[in-house]
Amino acid sequence: MSTTSSGIRFDSVTVAYDGNVVLDALDLTVGPGEVMALLGPSGSGKTTALRAVAGFVRPASGRVFLGDRDVTGLPPHRRGIGMVVQQYALFPHMRVADNVAFGLKARKTAKAEIRTRVAEALELTGMGAYARRHPRELSGGQQQRVAIARALAIRPDVLLLDEPLSALDAQLRSGMLAELARLHRELPDVSILYVTHDQVEALTLADRIAVMDRAKLRACGTPRELYRAPTDEFTASFVGGANLLPVTVGTGGVSFGDAEIKVDTGGAARGASATLCVRPHLVGLGDGPNRLTGTVGEIQWRGATHRLYVDVDGHRVMADVRELKAPPAFGESVSLHFSSEDAVLLPAGVSHD
Ligand SMILES: Nc1ncnc2c1ncn2[C@@H]1O[C@H](COP(=O)(O)OP(=O)(O)OP(=O)(O)O)[C@@H](O)[C@H]1O
Ligand SMILES: [Mg+2]
């Protein structure tokens, strides 16, 4: 089913259920061999976007392209796509090998070829030794590998993964994350669209992240771009924790309560309201540039760091501080600081209420 060109392109794809728009004019391109994470809260339209690519839902308007093929009108089985859904959906009465062979049999692939491909897919997912087992004789993680093997057996150009790790416990999840990264290295030409609401998965696996919010694409960029230089509050808080401080633009910086903060204000007008985004791990305890003073409202020990919640002018500022031998006491007055380069000025509250 391989074509010479791969990749996925959403061209203004809108999906509605009973007149309710759940995917709103999505424009997004996943390059050949690229891993794109679709990240967003529950109900934001992630699965719907995936189903539009797979052909399980028909857009009300817009087109879906795989490479240069317009597949909008094609049935799912003619799209050459591998898909793994959240709940594995293995056939319980079939052995592992037959589960993996399923898509190939449906395509009337020759028997010898099926044997080769099944072995290859099971090998890729580390399940070579389990071909004769039934799904009930496998752990959750192993079942998920089989589901991935089944998706890979047809040698798809495009792999769609819908929260593939969400049913696994935390430890297994991190092991499977590493497995998926390895799999991608072994199949560098396969484009992957990976749905998750877990930012760690998105930051770890994806070449780029598309952030979804209430049926709309909010932002798209490399993990580093979205983390270091988010363009809106929703993205800033969804990709990593963020302090979002209401500030007023001055000259050469902003003011936050009594504090003057030096930051690049771009073209923002003097006197305008804006939001200053600073990541908690970039906020230090003690005196320094861009000093804020407040009282400690809460302290959480998190192993490698202490998270301090400091009340500054009626706002809670989070600071993740490492190597804190003697943490300040609750109610103690403290100073916080951060470098100007670590702060990003965002438009005030445009995205979220
Ligand atoms: N078959 C359907 N009929 C009617 N509404 C639907 C249908 N499928 C999804 N929806 C609605 O579309 C919206 C988007 O759903 P979708 O499954 O794409 O969200 P999601 O981002 O994948 O969420 P989650 O993280 O919970 O899986 C939701 O409001 C959902 O209720
Ligand atoms: Mg979903």
Query: How far does residue 10's CA lie from ligand 2's centre (Å)?
Result: 18
Query: How far does residue 42's CA lie from ligand 2's centre (Å)?
Result: 7
Q: Classify the phi-psi angles of 277: left when phi > 0, otherwise alpha if psi is within -120 to 50, otherwise beta.
A: beta
Task: Check residue 2 and give its pLDDT.
Answer: 45
Nearest CA to ligand 1 atom 8: 48
Task: Check residue 155 and give its pLDDT.
Answer: 87
Task: Check residue 86 and give its pLDDT.
Answer: 72
Atom of ligand 1 nearest to the CA of 15: 12
Query: How far does residue 44's CA lie from ligand 2's centre (Å)?
Result: 8
DSSP class of 276: E
Atom of ligand 1 nearest to the CA of 57: 1
Chain centroid to CA 212: 9
Query: Maximum Cα–Cα distance for the chain, whole Å?
Result: 76
Atom of ligand 1 nearest to the CA of 212: 21
Q: Provide block-wise average pLDDT over 10 residues at a time, the chain (353 residues).
A: 71 96 98 95 95 96 96 92 82 96 92 95 92 93 90 91 84 83 90 92 93 96 93 91 95 93 92 96 95 96 92 96 89 97 87 42
Cα(310)–Cα(304) distance, rounded to whole angstroms?
Answer: 19
**All domains in the chain, ordered by first residue:** 8-233 (3.40.50.300), 241-347 (2.40.50.140)
pLDDT in tens, 300-344: 998 889 999 999 999 999 999 998 888 899 999 999 999 999 999
Query: How far does residue 289's CA lie from ligand 1's centre (Å)?
Result: 46
Chain centroid to CA 303: 25
The DSSP string of 310-350 is EEETTEEEEEEEES-SSPPPTT-EEEEE--GGGEEEEETTS
Task: Check residue 195 and give its pLDDT.
Answer: 95
Cα(43)–Cα(52) distance, rounded to whole angstroms?
Answer: 15
Percent of the chain with pLDDT over 70: 97
Q: Which amino acid would we find at residue 307?
A: R
Lining ligand 1 with CB less than 6 A are: 17, 22, 40, 42-48, 197
Q: How many CA atoms lie within 13 A of 184 on its CB side?
A: 23
Ranges of H-type helices in the chain: 46-54, 96-106, 111-124, 140-153, 170-186, 199-205, 223-228, 233-238
Nearest CA to ligand 1 atom 26: 42
